[in-house]
Amino acid sequence: MTISENLKHIQATLPKHVTLVAVSKTKPVSDLMEAYKTGQRIFGENKIQEMVEKHETMPKDIQWHMIGHVQRNKVKYMAEFVNLIHGVDNVKLLNEIDKQAKKHDRIIDCLLQIKIASEDSKFGMTPSDAEAILKSEAFSALKNIRVTGLMGMATFTEDENQVKAEFSSLKSVFESLKHIENENCKLQTISMGMSGDYQLAIACGSTMIRVGSSIFGVR
Ligand SMILES: *Cc1c(COP(=O)(O)O)cnc(C)c1O
């Protein structure tokens, strides 16, 4: 199937409350443009440099999501245009995003990444770290970021029960934190689910899925 057909097929099966991020990392601009012409406007990349280059050459009504692990010293390259940073997993990074957003007179939306997988390789903070940050005075003092939700990645395993348990744990962390509401924090988004597990993620409460290979083919 073509990129356009893949995209239409996935879009047709999604409930209205679920946002599709087309994960286009490593793919050429021509592939992204095919998705764009099919109506896709949200693209996810995991390397800042690659996202910057694609942003420069592509139409300006695209929303760019940074879904990968972010190095603090590279935030400045995307601060002017990035729409959502999914993988915020420490306070220093949050402070840097705030600082760089301020230079461009913007407010940048962020998701806190929670570690739900049992694998050591996956990044993320604990639910109590997230709670402590969201309730801290230092966080309230920031003026140029907004935490709009949580993000998580399940363990890479065939064991559907384990994946389901991990997704469900992110949903319950979300439920336990969503009462925290202030100028910098309004939790609305649960970013979980990729090509192999997005249906399960949606069943467990996902509102934003990050799908790459099922749209663009294998990398
Ligand atoms: C690559 C990537 C995806 C998409 O993976 P697919 O299996 O190709 O759908 C989703 N989320 C993150 C964080 C990724 O790095």
Which one of 3.40.1350.10, 3.30.230.10, 3.20.20.10, 3.20.20.70 gives the CATH number of domain 3-216? Answer: 3.20.20.10
Ligand 1 atom nearest the C-alpha of 46 is 15
- DSSP for 29-79, please give it: HHHHHHHHHTT--EEEES-HHHHHHHHHHS-TTPEEEE-S---GGGHHHHT
| Per-residue confidence (pLDDT) for residue 122, from 0 to 100 | 72
Whose CA is closest to atom 12 on ligand 1?
67
- Report phi then psi at 11, rounded to 5: -55, -40
How close is the Cα of 181 to the center of ligand 1, in Å? 29
Q: Which residues line ligand 1 (CB under 6 A)?
A: 23, 25, 46, 67-68, 153, 194-196, 210-214
Q: If you measure from the C-alpha of residue 20 to the centroid of ligand 1, how many angstroms do you get, rounded to a whole number?
A: 12
H or E element, residue 95: helix 91-103
Read off the amino acid at residue 161: N
Calculate how far, in angstroms, residue 194's C-alpha sits from the geometric centre of ligand 1: 6
Q: How many CA atoms lie within 13 A of 41 on its CB side?
A: 7
The pLDDT, as a whole number, for residue 86 is 98
Nearest residue (CA) to ligand 1, atom 6 = 212
Query: For position 123, what pLDDT does the model report?
Result: 85
How is the chain split into domains, by residue range? 3-216
In terms of Cα–Cα distance, which of 110, 199, 215 is closest to 154? 199
pLDDT in tens, the chain (219 residues): 999 999 999 999 999 999 999 999 999 999 999 999 999 999 999 999 999 999 999 999 999 999 999 999 999 999 999 999 999 999 999 999 999 999 999 999 999 999 998 887 778 999 999 999 999 999 999 999 999 999 999 999 999 999 999 999 999 999 999 999 999 999 999 999 999 999 999 999 999 999 999 999 999
How far apart, in whole angstroms, are the C-alpha atoms of residue 110 and residue 117? 20
Comparing CA positions, the residue from 50, 114, 111, 51 lying closest to residue 85 is 111
Could you tell me the distance, in angstroms and rounded to a whole number, from the CA of residue 25 to the centre of ligand 1? 9
Position 108 scores a pLDDT of 98
One-letter amino acid for residue 135 of the chain: K
Burial label, 33 (beta-carbon count in 10 A; 0-12, 13-18, 19+) = middle
